[in-house]
A = this chain, B = another copy of it.
Amino acid sequence: MYYIGIDLGGTNIAVGLVTEDGKIVKSISVPTMAERDYREIVKDMAETSKKVVEEAGVDMQEVKAVGIGCPGSIDNEKGECAYSNNLKMEHAKVAEEFRKHLDLPVNLENDANAAALGEYEINGNGAKSFVFITLGTGVGGGVIIDGKIYRGFNGVGAELGHTVMVAGGEDCSCGRKGCWEAYASVTALIRQTKKALEENADTVMHEMVKADGKISGKTAFVAAKNGDKVGLEVVNKYFEYVAEGITNMVNIFQPEKIVIGGSISKEGDYLLAPVREFVAKHDYNRYMQKAEIEIATLFGDAGIIGAALSAKRD
């Protein structure tokens, strides 16, 4: 049997046909055109699903269910998106609407939770407790306990990035000041890089930015690796913000495994080594087995795979 996994983003709808053990057989991505009424977006999701199944040469009868990862506050039981600020959704009946076009069981999850489940299923080794952190435009999170997505009683739990780490600090997109997200996201790294550029005339990053035409999340990393002192300072301070937040999550969850995803995670060991060192030094647990910290491996596919496998589980 197969499952359809849909990763609904603000830019693209990624749809994949996934095997029971989490392998993507075929996937198609189409533009979301997020400004549309959600019913049109859902219709495209269903039509793309049909296309994926057809192009994979699979009979629709072999597809057992559909899982959708959707940004925003999700009511999993009702299959509704209560609110999403990336998409025009307010109490949007996503599951019901989807079934008008393709009559299969639908499981709707928060996109970060779905991605967490994907990483857990593929890289979790059956960990009793598992935390997934994405360092991207924002800082997202997902928690898997005893193999199940932890959603909180109202479905909107595990907003791990929206925990204040620098009280009274930088403005966060959520309205608070000093959230982890405001220090450890790519957006934050770009702000930190910009500040370093303003304060230091003598960094190679000025030329890099001129050549690239912009400051990106890679600017400081590339400079640091090329021996630029200012770039290295930015990167080291950024690592500290990332690791401080991960230490918080370790102290809260003591997860058997914690996996870091999102675009920054592509730095691999360059990110992982200092983060592991910081956490080992600062976490509260000095006497018991330590949480393992790893880099995600699925990247963009985590959303599709996790969404698909969430449908398998519910």
In Å, the complex CA distance between A285 and B290 comes to: 32
**Complex partner residue of A150 from B145, B165, B176, CB under 8 angstroms:** B145
Interface residues in A232-262 by Cβ distance below 8 A to B read 241, 244, 247-248, 251-256
Question: Which residue of chain B has the shortest Cβ distance to A151 in the bound complex?
Answer: B254
Question: Which residue of chain B has the shortest Cβ distance to A143 in the bound complex?
Answer: B252
Interface assignment of A154: CB less than 8 Å from any CB of chain B: yes
Interface assignment of A73: CB less than 8 Å from any CB of chain B: yes
| Known interface pairs A82-B287, A127-B153, A145-B145; A158-B252 also in contact (CB < 8 Å) | yes
In the complex, chain B residues whose CB is within 8 Å of the CB of A290: 154
Interface assignment of A48: CB less than 8 Å from any CB of chain B: no
B251 and A159 contacting across the interface, CB-CB below 8 Å: yes
Interface assignment of A166: CB less than 8 Å from any CB of chain B: yes
Contact bitstring A134-163, B, C-beta under 8 A = 1, else 0? 000000000001000011111111111011
In Å, the complex CA distance between A154 and B162 comes to: 26
* A contact face: mostly helix, strand, loop, or mixed: loop
Contact bitstring A252-289, B, C-beta under 8 A = 1, else 0? 11111000000000000000000000000010111111
B154 and A244 contacting across the interface, CB-CB below 8 Å: no
**Complex partner residue of A288 from B75, B160, B247, CB under 8 angstroms:** B75
B159 and A291 contacting across the interface, CB-CB below 8 Å: no
In Å, the complex CA distance between A160 and B164 comes to: 13
Question: Which residue of chain B has the shortest Cβ distance to A81 in the bound complex?
Answer: B287
Task: Determine which residue in A159, A163, A169, A174 has the highest number of CB atoms from chain B within 10 A of its CB, and name it.
Answer: A163
**Complex partner residue of A153 from B128, B162, B175, CB under 8 angstroms:** B128
Question: Which residue of chain B has the shortest Cβ distance to A248 in the bound complex?
Answer: B163
Interface assignment of A299: CB less than 8 Å from any CB of chain B: no
Task: Determine which residue in A162, A164, A253 has the highest number of CB atoms from chain B within 10 A of its CB, and name it.
Answer: A164
B156 and A288 contacting across the interface, CB-CB below 8 Å: yes
Interface assignment of A201: CB less than 8 Å from any CB of chain B: no
* 4 nearest A-B pairs in the assembled complex, by CB-CB distance: A152-B254, A157-B254, A153-B256, A154-B288
Show 25 A/B contacts (Cβ-Cβ < 8 Å), sorted by A.
Answer: A73-B286, A73-B287, A129-B157, A151-B254, A152-B255, A153-B256, A154-B254, A154-B285, A154-B289, A154-B291, A155-B288, A156-B284, A157-B252, A157-B253, A159-B252, A160-B251, A160-B252, A162-B284, A164-B247, A165-B165, A167-B183, A167-B241, A167-B244, A175-B282, A252-B252
12 extra interface residue pairs, beta carbon distance < 8 Å, beyond A128-B153, A164-B248: A73-B285, A73-B286, A73-B288, A90-B287, A153-B255, A155-B254, A156-B284, A157-B253, A159-B251, A165-B167, A166-B167, A176-B282
